[in-house]
């Protein structure tokens, strides 16, 4: 069993509990041990445009905590994964910046060396665990459940930093879903943004983007909408009713985390996967066939 430090970020442990619950249920079944560390802070991404040095220092500190334990980092949130990955790239390629940041870390007895890798949910499931291993644990095949995937912006861009999947034609989530007998189908709006980052300054525009994409998903006849990002999930799940009102349509799209759908196919209960916390109509789904 391979061990990873679970880096929860800010949104998952304070609001998007269902993601963490499903992660903690699914990955041990797939022989991944999740290690909890004390002392993690924000990844730094939300303040990067205001103070890039502080953002870099926060990410480096979080990585250094994992390095101290000799473990790689599992960051389920794509925004956190991007922040940590981008900081690692900078520190590994810029000796002067590396030295400057390590001076900050010295006050806590920490140091950044670049030894820890940073992985996301897709990295773990597709590249490390593998499709064949996922198939071995399926107890309730999803019998051609038609699903729409949503990758979001931070998971696949910017490509030069190294993201978990291709920025123009991501397919890893589709392959994972096929492994549990779901039927992921392509659709023109697949790469559209959820609108979350517009929420503070342009809340109506944010809800419009959310509603427009869900409207298309509903019109295409999908049974479920699958994501891996707590920010995106908040828009599509928790704000679905408001988004529907914004675009003047009644939306009834079941929105689940990828790990929740995997857990259902593994035979894990709704309660343990946090499905009662989903605010979209997930009770519409028939899981495991007729």
Distance CA 211, CA 8 (A): 28
Q: Give the bridge partners for 282, in sequence order.
A: none
- pTM of the predicted protein model: 0.97
Contacts of 9 (CB under 8 A, 6+ apart): 42, 43, 75, 76, 77, 79, 80, 230
Determine the CATH number of domain 2-119: 1.20.1050.140
pLDDT score, position 234: 98
- Per-residue pLDDT reduced to its tens digit, 54-68: 999 999 999 999 999
CATH class of 138-284: alpha beta
pLDDT in tens, 115-125: 999 999 999 99
How much is the pLDDT for 230? 98
Backbone torsions φ then ψ of 38, nearest 5 degrees: -85, 150
> Domain segments of the chain: what residues?
2-119, 138-284
Q: How much is the mean pLDDT over the chain?
A: 97
104: alpha, beta or left, given left = phi > 0 and alpha = psi -120 to 50? alpha
CA nearest neighbour of 120 among 77, 158, 166: 77
Closest listed residue to residue 261, CA positions, set 223, 219, 212: 223
% of the chain with per-residue pLDDT over 90: 96
CA-wise closest residue to 257 among 228, 215, 290, 277: 228
pLDDT tens digits for range 206-236: 999 999 999 999 999 999 999 999 999 999 9
pLDDT at 144: 84
Contact 215, 251 (CB under 8 A): yes
- DSSP string for 144-213: T-EEEE---STTT--GGG--SS-SSS--HHHHHHHHTT-EE---TTTT----GGGTTT-HHHHHHHHHHH
Tens-digit pLDDT profile for residues 147-205: 999 999 999 999 889 899 999 999 999 999 999 999 999 999 999 999 999 999 999 99
Spatial separation of the C-alpha atoms in residues 66 and 57, rounded to whole Å: 15
Confidence bin at 138 (pLDDT 50/70/90): very high
Residue 286 pLDDT? 64
pLDDT tens readout for residues 83-108: 999 999 999 999 999 999 999 999 99
């Amino acid at each position: 069993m391979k061990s990873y430090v679970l880096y929860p970020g800010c949104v998952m442990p304070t609001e998007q509990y269902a993601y963490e619950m499903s992660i903690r249920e699914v990955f041990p079944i797939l022989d991944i041990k999740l290690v909890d560390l004390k002392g993690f802070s924000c990844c730094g991404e939300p303040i990067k445009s205001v103070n890039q040095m502080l953002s870099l220092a926060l990410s480096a500190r979080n990585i250094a905590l994992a390095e101290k334990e000799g473990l790689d980092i599992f960051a389920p949130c794509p925004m956190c994964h991007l922040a940590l990955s981008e900081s690692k790239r900078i520190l590994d390629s810029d000796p002067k910046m590396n030295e400057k940041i390590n001076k900050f870390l010295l006050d806590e007895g920490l140091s950044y060396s670049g030894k820890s890798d940073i992985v996301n949910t897709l990295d773990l499931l597709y590249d490390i665990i593998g499709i064949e291993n996922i198939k071995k644990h399926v107890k309730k095949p999803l019998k051609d459940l038609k699903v729409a995937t949503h990758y979001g912006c931070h998971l696949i861009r910017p490509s030069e930093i190294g993201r978990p999947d291709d920025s123009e034609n991501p397919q890893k989530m589709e392959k994972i879903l096929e492994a549990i007998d779901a039927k992921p189908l392509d659709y023109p709006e697949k790469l559209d943004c959820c609108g979350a980052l517009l929420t503070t300054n342009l809340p109506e525009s944010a809800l419009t983007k959310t509603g427009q994409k869900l409207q298309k998903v509903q019109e295409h006849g999908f049974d479920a909408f699958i994501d891996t990002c707590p920010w995106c999930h908040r828009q599509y799940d928790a704000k679905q009713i408001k988004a529907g009102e914004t675009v003047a349509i009644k939306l009834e799209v079941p929105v689940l985390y990828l790990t929740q759908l995997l857990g259902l196919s593994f035979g894990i209960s709704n309660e343990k996967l946090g499905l009662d916390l989903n605010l979209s109509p997930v009770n519409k789904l028939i899981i495991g066939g007729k």
